[in-house]
Amino acid sequence: MINRMCKIIFVGAMIFALLLFLVGCISGISYTTYEEPINNFVEISDDIPMEEAVVDVMAETSGPVPFSVLYAAMEITGAMYEPAVGAYIGAWLRPDIAKAAFEEMTGKKHAVFAMEMCIIDDFPSTWILHSIAAQAVPLIILHLPNDDEGDFPLAELANFAYELGNFNLPAFIVFNPLPSAPGTNSDDYVLLFRYARIIFRTYAPLATFVWHGYSNTVTADSPFYPGHDVVDWVSLEALAPQGADGFIVDIPSYIKPFYLSFQQHKPIILLPLGVGHFSRRDYVYRVPQAAAEVTRIYNALRDSFPRVRLVIYGNHNTSTPYWDDFSLTREDALLRAYNEAISDEYFLSRLIPGDFDGLLYMRSPLHGYYYQGNVFIDHGILEARAHRPIPAPTKEVGGRMYVNINEINWMKVATDHTRRVVYIQ
């Protein structure tokens, strides 16, 4: 016991010294319990309901068509391993499915494979070697043990980081995901996360650190968020079980508050993404609906969520109290829908090393719309993004003022009519 305490004190002193290099001071992957259908998604601001109002107006007029609006953010730089365009595809597989077999079934190489473990488990050398053989990057969800004594596992963390660093390869570490629960001390959690980040920077510098959001409405102001200087990427669970009345969660709507909160700060991972086709709610298979939903979700990610940079599909079937089946490989129709969705070149099969200094697009919280050859954008948001008044004629839609982009000659606008997206620089 004394030797262990000495070791902890010694390593703690080392970490404290390293901590002086950082200034400034989560939650976890716990599958959501879906007891009742979610009919009302949380609004992220007073402006958000107007998006639905604008869409309703369009539906009533037969002409105007809603378009997602993406603004170029010149002042934002990319994160470690973040692609300039596109999203990596990844998978979190059941143990009985080999990586090579999964890729053969899906018809496309995957850039990332995920697993989870506890820090006191044996180091997953074999699993990492299998990832290397598949030319994929490992993503490891790293849990800490439930220790009643509250001991900080410094030696274990240092050993894990050292072992990972010996492989000298890129990796994603989703560190210590915890649910937001009563009794969880945010200060202790943040300090632990920051300590761990120093250890991995020292021994495994090619590993990028991921903070997992415990709620779709969490923001960077959360007391559990460790800080931009120690977080490289953020992630969020996105599962859509089915009930008798349809999908209990609408994934694009569900992830939107989290996405809008973090898009200007960090690239985002969906971890895992899952679309259910069976559950014990009513013991009914709804495979066609699930296949259509997979197609819709991946199209929405491509068109409206440009900073979702990694999508890890969870090939699981017992993740919720109702045993919702999210697996792709059990149903041919679902697998075909997934294959077609990821076949788009937007979804990337290989990691892009290093950082990029390119152009990032941020999503506007409100739709624009296209009508009779013209693109109309919310006037207030346009002024906020441009940091200047917009002296142009406006048109009222759904209680808000919109401006015709053709009236502004100092902005570069590109319109993708197929995907219904407006790009603004």
Q: For the chain, what percent of residues have pLDDT higher than 90? A: 55
pLDDT of 125 above 80: yes
Using alpha carbons, select from 128, 87, 159, 64 the residue that is nearest to residue 369.
64
Q: What's the confidence (pLDDT) of residue 420?
A: 86
Nearest by Cα to 383 from 400, 360, 361 = 400
Q: Residue 32: what pLDDT? A: 41
**Which range, 78-82, 370-374, 418-422, is most confident?**
78-82
Out of 57-61, 133-137, 186-190, 248-252, which region has the weakest mean confidence (pLDDT)? 57-61
Question: pLDDT of 90-101, one tens digit each?
Answer: 999 988 889 999
pTM of the model: 0.80
406 secondary structure, DSSP code:
G
Contact 157, 119 (CB under 8 A): yes
CA 54 from centroid of its chain's CA atoms? 27
Per-residue CA distances from 338 to 158, 159, 298, 344, 350 (Å): 39, 38, 9, 11, 18
Checking if the pLDDT of 169 tops 80, the result is yes
Condensed to tens digits (0 to 9), the pLDDT of residues 111-121 reads 999 999 999 99
Average pLDDT for residues 140-166, to the nearest whole number? 87
How far out from the chain centre does Cα 147 lie? 29
Q: Regarding beta strands 112-118 and 360-363, do their DSSP bridges make them parallel or antiparallel, or are they unpaired?
A: unpaired
Query: Domains of the chain: which residue ranges?
Result: 2-30+82-348, 48-73+360-424
Residue range 2-30+82-348 forms a domain whose CATH class is alpha beta
Q: How many CB atoms within 10 Å of residue 147?
A: 10
Backbone dihedral region of 184: left (phi > 0), alpha (psi from -120 to 50 degrees) or beta?
beta
Question: What's the whole-number average pLDDT of the chain?
Answer: 82
pLDDT at 175 over 50: yes
Residues 6+ away with beta carbon under 8 Å from 406: 374, 375
The confidence band for 368, taking pLDDT boundaries of 50, 70 and 90, is confident
Across 112-121, 127-136, 309-318, 365-374, least confident range:
365-374
**pLDDT at position 348 over 80:** yes
pLDDT level of residue 312 (50, 70, 90 thresholds): very high
Rounded to an integer, the average pLDDT of 178-186 is 72
